[in-house]
A and B are shown apart, each in its own frame.
Chain A
Amino acid sequence: MELIQQLVNGVSLGSIYALIALGYTMVYGIVRLINFAHGDVFMVGSFVGFYAVTMLGIGFFPALLLAMAACAVLGMVIERIAYKPLRNATRIAVLITAIGVSLFIEYVTIYLRGAQPEAYPSTLLPDRNLKLFGVVISSQSLFILGTSLVLMILLQFIVHRTKIGKAMRAVSHDAEAARLMGINVDNTISATFAIGSALAGAAGVIFGIYYTKIEPLMGILPGLKAFVAAVLGGIGIIPGAMVGGLLLGVIESLVSGLGYSLWRDGVAFVILILILIFRPAGLFGKNVREKV
């Protein structure tokens, strides 16, 4: 029973990782950039949700939508200001810029509101415990799982059934060819950042409800772990990010369940190094031959 309980917790946690990982993977798939600032967009989303709930007094779903919208705008602004001028620069230059943007968002947040943590109101979602075959499932984790699933299905729909999704797939396949076919590459990249950041914002609100405590530096670790999840599933592959996120959440929960909760944060990085050594393309990826 203990094991199943941990699995349930792991899936809830994993769905948060999966939502963040989706943004990483989409951005990486389209511009080959590890968007280090993604974890901080997640943090901003969490705070927007928090202030929307406490100051505007709105419910869970409006707050979620507001956080998603704010993060989408933030994501596009980051892309336009910091990454777009570097479209043709070296990979390392872009990576360093991303690190800079990440630090900037974190410390501007601290500068504006201080480093003290906030507690999410716990009355936002009905909190009742369901007992199912001896396993306690809180209604909150069901809500979280449900919301994440809906968002993931929505994303699949956008990517595979809409025009902008088609453009995104085309650009990630070959940006030059897409441009020749009349696709506005810059707008497509902006849209990708917007969608990815909106998902991170949603993850931020969900995280706040699940863990209660939010603070300006909270984005770093989940951000890095979500990146691990994206690499685990095969970076650039959307279903891979979902599976990778869920897998990582379950593994972490099992490690804490075994009594090594302090080592939990280390496990993700061990997985990362192992996967990079043995299967660098990820679980769902295909090996690509290097061409000169």
Chain B
Amino acid sequence: MATWKRTRGFWGSVILAFAFFAVVEWLIASGMLNIFYVNTLFFMAINVMLAASLHLIIGITGQFSIGHAGFFAVGAYASAIMTMKLQLPFAVGVLTAGVAAMLAGLIIGVPSLRLKGDYLAIATLGFGEIVRIALLNIDYVGGASGMTVTHMTTWPWVFACLLVTLLVIANFTNSTHGRACISIREDEIAADAMGINTTYYKVAAFVIGAFFAGIAGALYAHHFYIIQPSNFGFLKSFDILIFVVLGGLGSLSGSVIAAVLLTIVSTFLQNYPETRMIIYSLVLIFVMLYRPTGLMGTKELSSLWKWRKTEGGVNHGGKNTVA
């Protein structure tokens, strides 16, 4: 009974998710959702995955990384090489994308996570740029003109990847390892003094985040027919960063909500890219000036109705900060 009480939220959300999946599947199959909405939906899911994976790095572990588009690019290209050049099935492509991005995360994470704050931000930004420039110069993947990729991303794939991403990140956050990461965010020196292997956990969070960004890259590559290095510049990294910052540094549901909302906004503003970027930049500035914790702070959506039941403990009243 006790186990049921603890896990009913988890199973409830899984069942809800499957219900959502079935409804959308039915809508797509019956042709009630036209191609435009399906596109938006896929794009939304990809953005949610990116936001959730960056949330793990910035929001939970407090490591300010602004090169997330680099992992996204590595995943996109790795999967495209698998399916297009080597003619392997899509599943292999998706898995390779994750593993390749993970390795990239490990390579960049081990040296640069010794840095803090601003320096880490710049190092990750530099990494993202190096990935882009490397892709631009490798003829095997098409250089500046990019690679054409067949459309393979389907709704069951998108849903499965999204669900796994969110479940793994949510459960990681609530595990021993997640708590260790949160303690690093709150105070790295204190966490170190408490015997937490800070380097290990920082790299772990970084690598897991990179893995899911890579998977998102695979879905992206096989949905938009063509991938070019220019799709993965630092503006893409900033896009992802805005989801996390607006949603609340430290809140998974906040990042997800922000990713969904901003995807809708940017779909509407597709024909006015400058206006979109001006709005984005003003959002960044005003959120930081007037509500530096973001919309949700470190609270989760589920804690809104748990509030009354838990007496003390658990809820910190939004006092948590990032870095």
Distance in Å: Cβ of A11 to nearest Cβ of chain B:
24
* Distance between Cα atoms of A90 and B111 in the complex (Å): 24
- By a CB distance below 8 angstroms, the chain B residues around A227 are 122
Per-residue CB proximity of A268-291 to B under 8 Å, as 1/0? 111011001100100000000010
Among the stretches B20-28, B39-47, B123-131, B153-161, the one at the interface with A is: B123-131
Distance in Å: Cβ of A230 to nearest Cβ of chain B:
10
* Distance between Cα atoms of A91 and B117 in the complex (Å): 7
Q: A111 and B275: CB pair below 8 A?
A: yes
* Distance between Cα atoms of A234 and B124 in the complex (Å): 19
- By a CB distance below 8 angstroms, the chain A residues around B130 are 266, 269-270
A263 within 8 Å of B by Cβ? yes
Q: A92 and B117: CB pair below 8 A?
A: yes
* Distance between Cα atoms of A290 and B130 in the complex (Å): 31
- By a CB distance below 8 angstroms, the chain A residues around B19 are none
Given contacts A90-B323, A91-B323, contact A265 B133 (CB under 8 A): yes
Q: A273 and B123: CB pair below 8 A?
A: yes
Per-residue CB proximity of A75-115 to B under 8 Å, as 1/0? 00000001001100111111111011111101110110000
Distance in Å: Cβ of A78 to nearest Cβ of chain B:
10
Given contacts A104-B278, A106-B277, A108-B278, contact A89 B133 (CB under 8 A): no
B245 within 8 Å of A by Cβ? yes
Q: A86 and B278: CB pair below 8 A?
A: no
A71 within 8 Å of B by Cβ? no
Count how many pairs of residues, one from A and one from B, have CB atoms less than 8 Å apart in the complex: 120
The dominant DSSP class at the B interface is helix
- By a CB distance below 8 angstroms, the chain A residues around B277 are 103, 106-107
- By a CB distance below 8 angstroms, the chain B residues around A96 are 241, 245, 284, 288
Per-residue CB proximity of A249-277 to B under 8 Å, as 1/0? 00000000000001101101110110011
* Distance between Cα atoms of A262 and B133 in the complex (Å): 8
* Distance between Cα atoms of A85 and B121 in the complex (Å): 22
Given contacts A104-B281, A262-B137, A277-B114, contact A272 B126 (CB under 8 A): yes
* CB-CB nearest in chain A for B66: A99
Q: B129 and A224: CB pair below 8 A?
A: yes
A44 within 8 Å of B by Cβ? no
Q: B278 and A90: CB pair below 8 A?
A: no
Q: A93 and B121: CB pair below 8 A?
A: no
* Distance between Cα atoms of A241 and B156 in the complex (Å): 53
* CB-CB nearest in chain A for B286: A100
B115 within 8 Å of A by Cβ? yes
* CB-CB nearest in chain A for B120: A276
Q: B292 and A272: CB pair below 8 A?
A: no
Q: B119 and A95: CB pair below 8 A?
A: no
Given contacts A104-B285, A111-B278, A273-B126, contact A93 B292 (CB under 8 A): yes
Contact residue among A89, A95, A100, A108 (Cβ-Cβ distance under 8 Å from B285): A100
- By a CB distance below 8 angstroms, the chain B residues around A107 are 274, 277-278, 281
Contact residue among A91, A263, A268, A273 (Cβ-Cβ distance under 8 Å from B111): A273
- By a CB distance below 8 angstroms, the chain A residues around B111 are 273, 277
Q: A231 and B122: CB pair below 8 A?
A: yes
B189 within 8 Å of A by Cβ? yes
Interface size range on B against A = 35 or more
Given contacts A90-B323, A108-B278, A273-B127, contact A99 B241 (CB under 8 A): yes
* Distance between Cα atoms of A93 and B133 in the complex (Å): 29
Per-residue CB proximity of B248-292 to A under 8 Å, as 1/0? 010000000000000000000000001101101111110011001
Per-residue CB proximity of B196-216 to A under 8 Å, as 1/0? 000000000000000000000
Distance in Å: Cβ of B20 to nearest Cβ of chain A:
32
A34 within 8 Å of B by Cβ? yes
Given contacts A99-B238, A104-B285, A269-B127, contact A90 B137 (CB under 8 A): no
* Distance between Cα atoms of A269 and B284 in the complex (Å): 26
- By a CB distance below 8 angstroms, the chain B residues around A231 are 119, 122
Per-residue CB proximity of A96-136 to B under 8 Å, as 1/0? 11011111101110110000000000000000000000000
- By a CB distance below 8 angstroms, the chain B residues around A92 are 58, 64, 117, 249, 322-323
Distance in Å: Cβ of A130 to nearest Cβ of chain B:
34
Distance in Å: Cβ of A260 to nearest Cβ of chain B:
9
- By a CB distance below 8 angstroms, the chain A residues around B275 are 111
Per-residue CB proximity of B103-122 to A under 8 Å, as 1/0? 00000000110110111011
B136 within 8 Å of A by Cβ? yes
- By a CB distance below 8 angstroms, the chain B residues around A272 are 122-123, 126
Distance in Å: Cβ of A284 to nearest Cβ of chain B:
16
- By a CB distance below 8 angstroms, the chain B residues around A224 are 122, 125-126, 129
Q: A99 and B284: CB pair below 8 A?
A: yes
Can you list 21 residue pairs at the A/B interface with Cβ under 8 Å? A32-B118, A82-B285, A86-B288, A86-B292, A89-B288, A92-B249, A93-B292, A95-B64, A95-B121, A100-B281, A103-B238, A103-B281, A104-B282, A106-B277, A107-B281, A108-B278, A227-B122, A231-B119, A263-B137, A265-B133, A269-B130
Shortest Cβ-Cβ A-B pairs, 3 listed: A100-B284, A269-B126, A103-B281
Known: A34-B118, A107-B277. 5 other contacts (CB 8 A): A95-B117, A97-B284, A224-B129, A290-B189, A292-B189
